[in-house]
Amino acid sequence: MSDLIRNIKGTKDILPLDSKLWLETESIIHNFMSLHGYHLIKTPVFEKTELFNRSIGENTDIVNKEMYTWEDRDGTSLTLRPELTASVVRSFIQNQLGNLSPIQRFYYIDSSFRRERPQKGRQRQFTQYGVESIGSHNPEQDVEVILIAFRIYQMLGVNDLAVNINSIGSKESRLNYVVDLKKFLTPFKNKLSDISQSRLESNPLRILDSKSKKDLEIIKDAPLISDYLNEKDQANFEVIQNLLIDLNIPFKINENLVRGLDYYNGMIFEIISDNIGAQSALCGGGRYDRLVEQLGGKSTPAVGFAAGLERLMLILKEQSENLDYSTDIYIISSNEEAISQSIVIADILRNKLGIKVITETLRRSVRSQMREANKINAQFVIIIGQEDTSNNEVIIKNMKDGSQINASIDKIESYFGVDYEYK
Ligand code: HAM
């Protein structure tokens, strides 16, 4: 036997046992987005590396360590997208979608790639669903985005969520803040964790969301970004909070929330769940008013979020142990001729009545087929070609109550057409 070729570390197969839940969840997300007037956008899985360097930022973990980047044969540097915001904004600019209407609402469900250390809820290929709303600088747009992110979880029955929000203000406010933060942290440099020591120069804001106990002890007395916000940012943040209260969306202001991507300004948020282990962020997002311009478009405000579908699945799988995987009808065939008949009957039942039907293709004994029908939780079996039935007669058995009738083969359709409600 040849060596087995295994999947790549940090990637996962979605097997049939999980794919039903996966499809159902995706379908709920599609419907939910449509309800809110968001339109699906699909962008290529790889882009020029420069797109991510310029948007996510050269000093971020994603760009520094986590991107799958390679040189194409013509020397262009290409990268598998580590997230979708940059690609959506590129597409928005390139296709001049801003000319179509002053506000564009996009959503996506697609794969992203980051070379992180795999663990529960953290993969190297993962799926993000999210929205990007491009055009409004007003706080009600921020709230719409948080609302969508939050209500999807609620609708799916995911409870115990914490919505953390913060405002990191304008670029100017943040620059002033970072100067003071650095001043505050520098005397403690040697007491900080290794990673925070290196971030003190490259990206001091990220020290704020460190999980290290040593760092937390120091950070708790650090200056607060809220003291650096200008009047407009403060006013917007207040409107956001008031609207969230009106909508009954519980939230907490977390002054240490900074997010790991450079393009944000103003409101940022994350939704956290305690039920998925260390990788507790179910989703994250915020406002990014400068990105469109930064990537070569007309200055246009924007806000969005993205959520990890696998992290959501971890929770949903635990909640839905009793998913209904049943089959409507299993057709048991006693001989080869019956198998041919079963294929025609199944075709009619599926196409005319939309009934889920499985036929036998392994030519097993009637007993094994009956066992199989039980295993896949068939609601009915139709047995064709039994010796004690006359030509053109089948047995229809209700697997729930054990009752059965003999029916003419050309009456099957009307039996299920009329009586199907009976299930
Ligand atoms: P992010 O926080 O980097 O933001 O990712 C959003 C979500 O993607 C995370 O909360 C998490 O659920 C999921 N995620 C991230 N990395 C992994 C991974 N390695 N394995 C599994 N799930 C993961 C963004 O990507 C921004 N583009 C969000 C955004 C949209 N901001 C504005 N618009």
User: What tens digit of pLDDT does each residue of 123-136 get?
Assistant: 999 999 999 999 99
**Which residue spans within 4-124 are E strands per DSSP?**
39-40, 46-48, 69-71, 77-80, 104-113
Query: Ligand 1 pocket: which of 12, 33, 311 to mutate (most atoms <8 Å of CB)?
Result: 311
Going from the Cα of 321 to the center of ligand 1, the distance in angstroms, rounded, reads: 27
Q: How are the residues of the chain apportioned to helix, strand and coil, as percentages rounded to the nearest 5?
A: 45, 20, 35
Give the percent of the chain with pLDDT over 90: 83
The arithmetic mean of pLDDT across residues 138-147, rounded, is: 98
The CA-atom distances, in angstroms, between 224 and each of 138, 169, 246, 255 are 24, 12, 27, 7
Q: How far apart are the first and last CA of the chain?
A: 48
Which residues approach ligand 1 with their CB closer than 6 A? Answer: 83, 85, 114, 116, 121-123, 126, 128, 130, 132, 260-261, 281-286, 288, 304-308, 310-311
Going from the Cα of 149 to the center of ligand 1, the distance in angstroms, rounded, reads: 12
User: What is the pLDDT, as a whole number, of residue 322?
Assistant: 58
Q: Name the DSSP letter for residue 246.
A: H
Residue 125 has, within 13 A of its CA and on its CB side, a CA count of: 12
Q: Are 215 and 200 in contact (CB under 8 A)?
A: no
- For residue 353, is pLDDT > 90? no
The protein residue whose alpha carbon is closest to atom 21 in ligand 1 is 122
User: What is the pLDDT, as a whole number, of residue 321?
Assistant: 67
- Give tens-digit pLDDT for 224-263: 999 999 999 999 999 999 999 999 999 999 999 999 899 9
Going from the Cα of 87 to the center of ligand 1, the distance in angstroms, rounded, reads: 14
pLDDT interval class at 47 (50, 70, 90) = very high
Q: Which atom of ligand 1 is nearest to the CA of 124?
A: 19
